[in-house]
Amino acid sequence: MNLLFVASEAHPYSKTGGLADVVGALARSLSKQGHRVGVFTPFYKSVRQKHPEIEPIEWFFDVPLGSGRGKGRLWAYDESPGLTFYFLEEREGAFERDGFYQEKGIDYQDNARRFIFFSKCAAHFARYAGWKPDLIHAHDWQAGLVPLFISDQKRQGVWDDAPPTLFTIHNLAYQGNFPTYDYELTNLSWDYFSVEGGVEFFGSMSCMKSGIVYSDAITTVSPNYAKEILDREMGCGMDGALRARRHVLTGILNGVDYSEWNTESNPFLKSSFSAFDLFGKNSAKRQLQSELGLPEESDIPLFATITRIVDQKGVDLLIETLKTILQRGADLQFCLLGSGAMDLERALEDLQDAYPDQVAARIGFDLGLSHRIEAGSDFYLMPSRFEPCGLNQLYSLRYGSIPIVHGIGGLQDSVIGPSENLADCNGFKFNEFIPSALAEQIENAMAVYTKPHLMKHLRENGMKADFSWNRSSAEYLDLYLKLLQRPH
Which residues are near ligand ADP by CB under 6 A? 17-18, 21, 171, 306-308, 337-339, 365-367, 370, 389-392
Nearer to ligand ADP by C-beta: 239 or 387?
387
Nearer to ligand ADP by C-beta: 149 or 395?
395
Nearer to ligand ADP by C-beta: 141 or 183?
141
**Count of CB atoms within 10 A of residue 321's CB?**
22
What gap in Å lies between CA 143 and CA 120, rounded to an integer? 9
Nearer to ligand ADP by C-beta: 8 or 392?
392
What gap in Å lies between CA 40 and CA 74, rounded to an integer? 9
Nearer to ligand ADP by C-beta: 367 or 422?
367
CB of 373 to ligand ADP, least distance (A): 9
Residue 349 phi/psi, 5° resolution? -65, -35
Burial label, 62 (beta-carbon count in 10 A; 0-12, 13-18, 19+): exposed
What gap in Å lies between CA 443 and CA 423, rounded to an integer? 21
Q: Sign of the CA dihedral 396, 400, 405, 410? A: positive
CB of 397 to ligand ADP, least distance (A): 13
Burial label, 91 (beta-carbon count in 10 A; 0-12, 13-18, 19+): middle
Reduced to 3 states (helix: H, G, I; strand: E, B; else coil), residue 175 is coil
Residue 457 phi/psi, 5° resolution? -60, -50
CB of 190 to ligand ADP, least distance (A): 35
DSSP state letters, 61-127: EEEEETTEEEEEEEEEEEEETTEEEEEEEETT-TT-SSSSSEETTEE-TTHHHHHHHHHHHHHHHHH
- Give Cβ neighbours of residue 400 (< 8 Å, ≥ 6 apart): 263, 273, 275, 278, 281, 375, 459, 462, 463
CB of 337 to ligand ADP, least distance (A): 5
Nearer to ligand ADP by C-beta: 135 or 309?
309
Nearer to ligand ADP by C-beta: 153 or 262?
262
Q: Is 166 left (phi over 0), alpha (psi -120 to 50) or beta?
A: beta
- Give Cβ neighbours of residue 475 (< 8 Å, ≥ 6 apart): 252
CB of 167 to ligand ADP, least distance (A): 17
CB of 338 to ligand ADP, least distance (A): 5
CB of 310 to ligand ADP, least distance (A): 8
Element (H, E) at 483: helix 469-485
Nearer to ligand ADP by C-beta: 135 or 234?
234
Residue 123 phi/psi, 5° resolution? -65, -40
Nearer to ligand ADP by C-beta: 364 or 487?
364
- Is 272 within 8 Å of 265 (Cβ atoms)? yes
CB of 321 to ligand ADP, least distance (A): 19
Q: Sign of the CA dihedral 345, 351, 355, 359? A: negative
What gap in Å lies between CA 398 and CA 467, rounded to an integer? 9
Nearer to ligand ADP by C-beta: 151 or 266?
266
CB of 411 to ligand ADP, least distance (A): 10
Residue 74 phi/psi, 5° resolution? -95, 145
Cβ-closest residue to ligand ADP? 18
- Is 373 within 8 Å of 288 (Cβ atoms)? yes
Nearer to ligand ADP by C-beta: 386 or 449?
386
- Is 254 within 8 Å of 317 (Cβ atoms)? no
CB of 17 to ligand ADP, least distance (A): 3
CB of 469 to ligand ADP, least distance (A): 14
* Cα dihedral value 461, 464, 469, 475, nearest 10: -60
Nearer to ligand ADP by C-beta: 280 or 338?
338
CB of 399 to ligand ADP, least distance (A): 11
